[in-house]
Amino acid sequence: MSDGAVSIPGEEISVHQFSPVDVVVLVIYLVGVVGLGAWFYGKSSNPEGYMAASRSMPGWVIGLSIFGTYVSSISFIALPGKAFSSNWNAIAFSISLPLAAWVATRWFVPYYRQGNSVSAYEHLEKRFGVWARTYAAVCYLLTQIARMGSVMYLLALPLHQLLGWDIPTLILVTGGLTTFYTLLGGIEGVIWTDALQSLVLAAGAIVCAILIPLNMPEGPSQLFEIASSHNKFSLGSLELMLSEPTFWVVLVYGLFINLQNFGIDQSYIQRYIAAKSDADARRSVWLGAMVYVPISILFLWIGTALFAYYDARPELLPPALQEDIAKGTGDGVFPYFIVAGLPVGVSGLLVAAIFAAAMSTLSTSLNGAATLTLADFYQRFYRPQASPKESMIVLYVSTMLWGCLGTGTALAMIEVQSILDAWWKLAGIFSGGMLGLFLLGFLSRRARNPSAILAVIAGVLVILWMTLSRTSIWPAAWADSQSPFDQFLVIVFGTLTILLVGFALTQLFNQSADKSAEANPRDPSDSQTPEEA
């Protein structure tokens, strides 16, 4: 097979290793998830139920749903892979989460809860015009395509090793399954199944984190000796430099991405709106954030433990996987351990946990993308008064469309070396600095449309420069003008450019307007009534 990922390591991994008990565990889980989605089909048969769960959800369920969305198979597979191949540098992303959650509960949640819109970006139209709403919606949709592609690919990795199927086929199958499941339950089904799936994936991670140290040839203490000798608990470089993914670069990147998630990501805004009260919405943010932090640390621990385990027993690694590790990627190690190093039944639980992580994110992204397709495009530009039946048709068709696009992106990611790095970079690029536009409107009451448009143009130019100058399409004659900054800083510089340029232009335009008013005082006879003004 030439699929560019982890190859099947000969006789060591074959279908028989996935025992009947494992199959039963996995099948029971999948049937349960689809059944739970079908249970809410009746409640999601109208647009309000499909997109906002009739605004009746308890905070603890939404909180577990937010946690499940944060984890996804990107964390479940890629975080251990990152820790295996390097160190704990990725923990900086998690450390930034509580601060972002505080900002969200203090300002973002009340801001979105005060209206009746289910679109996160209708507020931008009221502030700056329809262009701002469309810009943000397009950026969100591009980000979701990248997210869905990463998730589907990482879900296919363990199934590739379990079943012997090629990765493209598995991506097509799992993409179709999750798209169908999302069609059934709407946002209420998504939230409840996310809550269930978050418990499954947390249980799977805890079990694995305990079993690996117990399986060390010389006991758990050997794990710490090996990991410490290879500097595996390092947080990465602590230097104050912007050209490499140092601890500080990842920390700042994480803060901006998490602010974007909580502040302007449709997937999260829909959950605020679905909550039955403001208090429940705030509670959900804190619960999701505070559960994710220790679980993400657990995933990094699993990656480090796997490094020590296979360093002590290198003969257990098949040659194909050793070649991938030599190339600098460890994304395939955890899936291999799941099928080759866990007891009967536990493998099924872990694969079910990976399914849980993937389906949680996929269903969330698909429902959010379908909601924006209806609210920000179809109803906004084509049929503002679309009937409930017509709206449901648009929601169903767009869910299938975005599922197909996400599946296609997953197929394109097969040759990517590190999925975590790829996802982080794509998220920073496709976000387009829309957080900066949101913050400009949120923080500056005097900012107007001209300032916002010019600020976004400046931000997009910075993003394009930082992105394209590091690729082969950048002209050799312009080599001296390449971006010296790490790609994780794309969203940081894009956001700050929009925000700072917007502030500066707002101040400049307002000063000009004030001077013009002083130079040309109005004639009292030209006064208007309040209605005319």
| Residue 460 burial class via C-beta count within 10 angstroms: exposed 0-12, middle 13-18, buried 19 and up | middle
Q: What is the pLDDT of residues 310-366, one digit of tens each?
A: 999 988 888 878 887 887 778 778 888 887 888 877 888 777 777 777 777 788 889
The percent of residues in the chain predicted with pLDDT above 90, rounded, is: 35
Predicted confidence band of residue 12 (pLDDT cuts 50, 70, 90): very low
Q: Let me know the angle formed at the C-alpha of 408 by 406 and 410, rounded to the nearest 5 degrees.
A: 70
Residue boundaries of the structural domains of the chain: 46-234+265-416, 443-516
Q: Reply yes or no on whether the pLDDT at 422 is more than 80.
A: no
Rounded CA gap, 277 and 283, in Å? 10
282 Cβ contact list (under 8 Å, min separation 6): 59, 105, 109
Residue matched to tokens 């917007």: 502
Q: Output 30 or 518, whichever has higher pLDDT.
A: 30
Residues 101-133 as b/e (b if ≥16 CB within 10 A, e otherwise) read bebbbeebbeebbeeebbbbbbbbbebbeeebb
Rounded CA gap, 250 and 367, in Å? 29
Q: What is the pLDDT of residues 95-137, one digit of tens each?
A: 999 999 999 999 999 999 987 788 889 889 988 999 999 989 9
What is the phi/psi pair of residue 275, to 5°?
A: -65, 150
pLDDT at residue 10, as a whole number: 34
Q: Output 355 or 10, whichever has higher pLDDT.
A: 355
Dihedral sign (CA 152, 154, 159, 164): positive
Nearest of 181, 177, 205 to residue 194 by alpha carbon: 181
521 Cβ contact list (under 8 Å, min separation 6): none
Cα-only R_g, the chain: 24
Q: Which two tokens stand for residue 491?
A: 């969203």
Q: Reply yes or no on whether the pLDDT at 402 is more than 90.
A: yes
pLDDT at residue 92, as a whole number: 93
Rounded CA gap, 161 and 287, in Å? 34
Q: Reply yes or no on whether the pLDDT at 14 is more than 50.
A: no
Q: Let me know the angle formed at the C-alpha of 113 by 129 and 193, rounded to the nearest 5 degrees.
A: 110
Consecutive H or E run containing 426: helix 419-430
Angle, helix 278-312 to helix 167-214, in steps of 10 degrees: 80
The answer to whether the beta carbons of residues 223 and 309 sit under 8 Å apart is: yes
The answer to whether the beta carbons of residues 438 and 491 sit under 8 Å apart is: no
Q: What is the pLDDT of residues 245-290, one digit of tens each?
A: 899 999 999 999 899 889 888 989 999 999 999 999 999 999 999 9
**CATH, range 46-234+265-416:** 1.20.1730.10
Nearest of 315, 313, 349, 354 to residue 332 by alpha carbon: 354
What's the residue count for the chain?
Answer: 533
- If one counts every other C-beta atom within 10 angstroms of the C-beta of residue 47, the result is 23
Q: Could you tell me what percentage of the chain is helix, strand and coil, using 3-state DSSP and rounding each to the nearest 5? A: 75, 0, 25
Would the pTM count as exceeding 0.75? yes
Q: What is the pLDDT of residues 180-234, one digit of tens each?
A: 878 877 888 888 888 888 888 888 889 889 999 998 999 899 999 999 999 999 9
Q: What is the pLDDT of residues 165-176, one digit of tens each?
A: 788 988 888 788
Rounded CA gap, 282 and 424, in Å? 26
Q: Reply yes or no on whether the pLDDT at 5 is more than 50.
A: no
What is the phi/psi pair of residue 77, to 5°?
A: -105, -45
Rounded CA gap, 422 and 181, in Å? 27
Nearest of 481, 497, 503 to residue 431 by alpha carbon: 497
Longest dimension (CA), the chain: 94
The beta strands (E) that lie in 345-501 are given as none
pLDDT at residue 426, as a whole number: 62
The answer to whether the beta carbons of residues 112 and 369 sit under 8 Å apart is: no
Residue matched to tokens 């690729």: 471
